[in-house]
Chains A and B, each alone.
Chain A
């Protein structure tokens, strides 16, 4: 930062790898939008994002069926494009996703559901993906609903 700030007391190595966890749903919270702005700024600062994990209501971001009015940002589409362009894995928690009706083709067949609606390049996986980040050097940032 270019601002004049108080003298520093410690100089640990700054975090180089981030995991972003989004728990706020699009259109009911600002979380996916704030997270996307942060993610773009992080890559511009040469940070790496090892994965984006959707949890709780955040899984709605991975829906291929959201159709907001044409003068509003399509957050699912914007996130999907960002993940694809930058080859960042986007993972929706399977337990959160199945409860909320967000399924890929494999889960559609397994549970004999009438349709699947997971948007590419999002994947569905367990909380183990988040545990993997927690056990690594990644800095985990959470984007919850506001209120």
Chain B
């Protein structure tokens, strides 16, 4: 059973994204195949150079960089959303694949979920 967790909320302004990441890491910890898709404002999670110290939050960039180490199979970013938020391939964290989201993409997974 392969799972796709979708994050469409921007980072730091809400907790939904962090809780989505917890879901992905939990599946990976139990050796369940899981990938992450960032779309809408969620692609801003993937921007290099985040420093959330002054808003008293933990940087998400470090969590995401560790995703492959924890067994998350792939990180995908929606192409349209990247264009919308001015994110070129070089602005994105490592290990992120840009993809076109549509029925062919979501149909590859048995279980597709949002955190909220």
Contacts and interface: CB of A to CB of B under 8 A. Distances in A.
Nearest to A135: B32
Contacts of A135: 1, 30, 32
Nearest to B32: A135
A145 B26 contact: no
B114 interface: yes
Given A131-B32, A134-B32, A135-B30, A144 B114 contact: yes
Interface in B65-116: 111, 113-116
A139 B22 CA distance: 20
Contacts of A101: none
Interface of B is mostly: mixed
A142 interface: yes
Interface in A27-68: 55-58
Contacts of B116: 23-24, 55-58, 144-145
Size bracket of the A interface: 20 to 34
Contacts of B114: 23, 142, 144
B10 to A, nearest CB: 15
Nearest to B26: A127
Nearest to B3: A134
Given A55-B19, A56-B16, A131 B113 contact: no
Contacts of B111: 134, 140
Interface of A: 21, 23-24, 55-58, 95-96, 99, 126-128, 130-131, 134-135, 140, 142, 144-145
Interface of B: 1, 3, 15-16, 19, 22-23, 26-27, 29-30, 32, 111, 113-116
6 contacts: A23-B115, A56-B116, A130-B26, A135-B1, A135-B30, A142-B114
